[in-house]
Amino acid sequence: MIGEGADARDGIRTALRSPVSLITAKDVAREAGVHPSTVSRSLDPEQMARVKTETRLRVQEAAGRLGYRPDLTASSLRRQRTMTIGVLIPSFGNPIYGDLIHGINAELEPHGYQGLMIETPDGSDRLSPALETLRGRRVDGIICATSRSEDRQVLRDLVDSGMPVVLTLRWLAGLAIARVVNDDRLGGFLAGQHLVSLGHRRMLEIPGSEDIETFADRSRGFRDGLAAAALTPIRHGERTTTPDVSEGRRVMANLLASGVMDGVTAVFAQNDLLGIGAIEALRSAGLQCPEDVSVMGFNDSPLVDHLDPALSTIAMPMVEMGMRAGREILRAVNGQDTEHDVVTVRPTLVPRASTSAPAQAARPAAPAD
């Protein structure tokens, strides 16, 4: 029994002395019949294009058989890079950001980079501390999807410090920072045009926060869409502080209580969460969507097509936007001049059950005398 125990302990010691990490590039080179430097290039996403495909595949197969993993820390020290990109988003709770992050990672990972995600909620003062955290982690660049008007100087200082930065989804006018954004003015125009085409004549907006340029552009586009039919949205003084369901519900309830909604047959909510809240408030007041009031959203968030009624909306290509933002930050990290780059993606109209012709427009005309 004692011998068996000793043998077992010896086996454990042997295993501990031979972890996967002890396999070196020289071992892989010997297995693949190449020079160790070829191993490094074959497993480095930034250099593998310099190696013939046949050789690269042979090295990668040998590395897989031996269980070799490159020492990323040593590689980062050699390059003086951490191979990480900070990504700032306003809400982990808003499902549209999942697609944005997916697109960013799809572009970064083949190049050996990883995204470091941080939430900086709207209405908080967490942007500056988040940026300091990322700088402390020595990220190689930052993708920011959270910018509001009060962040202008913080972002300008960040760029002046030499940090590569790309704005996406949200942007700020007057900053020399690369941006990858949706054409929000076109999206607002499509929303207005859609409601006009259904026969609506009295419409209003549930606006997003006024310090976010994205929402201001959606409003401009909506007014353009109505102006093409010689219409203007009904004015009111309600604003939202955060673009979420509770704010949509609160604003719609206030509009109903104030009487502003009298005769209004359609509402454009400047994002889907606001639209969902608006429908809830209408329902609580005994009104139905779209029979009494049509509601239009913006974003085409996951699952809005499963609501009752399914939400009409403007779809943004979030994955594409994320991929292009990833591409821009890699260009900036690699020393290319990107500060004046503006990449704009196009939204599309997605009509669903929450918008229909207004009831009065659907009634047959009264017979002539």
Contact 92, 119 (CB under 8 A): yes
Distance, first Cα to last Cα, the chain: 112
The two most distant CA atoms of the chain are separated, in Å, by 113
Q: Residue 148, Cβ neighbours under 10 Å: how many? A: 19
Q: What is the pLDDT of residues 17-71, one digit of tens each?
A: 444 447 888 888 888 898 888 887 787 766 777 788 888 889 888 888 888 876 6
More confident call, 173 vs 344: 344
Joined tokens for residue 353: 């059950």
Q: If residue 245 lies in a helix (H) or strand (E), which one and from where to where? A: helix 245-258
Residues 6+ apart with CB under 8 A from 235: 204
Contacts of 207 (CB under 8 A, 6+ apart): 215, 219, 238, 239, 240, 270
Pairing of strands 294-296, 313-315: unpaired
Mean pLDDT, the chain, whole residue set: 87
pLDDT at residue 75, as a whole number: 54
pTM of the model: 0.78
Angle in degrees, 0-180, between the axes of helices 127-136 and 152-160, rounded to the nearest 10: 20
Q: In sequence order, which residues have a C-beta less than 8 Å from that of residue 195 and are 6 or more positions away?
A: 203, 225, 266, 268, 294, 296, 355
Q: Quick one: tokens of 74?
A: 């040593």
> Is the confidence at residue 99, as pLDDT, over 50?
yes
Distance CA 213, CA 199 (A): 29
Number of H helices, E strands in the chain: 14, 11
Confidence (pLDDT) at 161: 92
Which runs of consecutive H residues, i.e. helices, occur in 124-165?
127-136, 152-160
pLDDT of residue 85: 97
Q: Is the pLDDT of residue 179 over 60?
A: yes
**Could you tell me which residues come within 8 angstroms of residue 132 by beta carbon, excluding any fewer than 6 positions away?**
none
How many alpha carbons fall within 13 Å on the CB side of residue 186? Answer: 11
- Sequence-distant (6+) residues with CB within 8 A of 264 are 202, 203, 204, 234, 293
When pLDDT is averaged across residues 302-322 and rounded to a whole number, the result is: 96
Q: Is the pLDDT of residue 147 over 80?
A: yes
Report d(CA 91, CA 97) in Å as an integer. Answer: 8
Tell me how far apart the alpha carbons of residues 140 and 120 are, in angstroms, rounded to a whole number. 19
DSSP 68-103: ----HHHHHHHHT---EEEEEES-SSSTHHHHHHHH
Confidence (pLDDT) at 35:
86
Q: Which has the minimum average pLDDT: 38-52, 161-175, 265-279?
A: 38-52
Domains and CATH numbers, the chain: 15-70 (1.10.260.40), 79-182+318-346 (3.40.50.2300), 184-316+350-358 (3.40.50.2300)
- Output the pLDDT for position 18: 43
Lowest mean per-residue pLDDT among 23-27, 197-201, 237-241: 23-27
Omega before 90 within 30 of 0, i.e. cis: no
Q: Which residue has the higher pLDDT, 74 or 271?
A: 271
Cβ 139 vs Cβ 162: under 8 Å: no
Q: Which residue has the tokens 């690699």?
A: 334
Q: Which of 16, 30, 27, 23 is nearest to 68 (CA)?
A: 23
Q: What is the crossing angle of helices 96-108 and 318-333, to 10°? A: 40
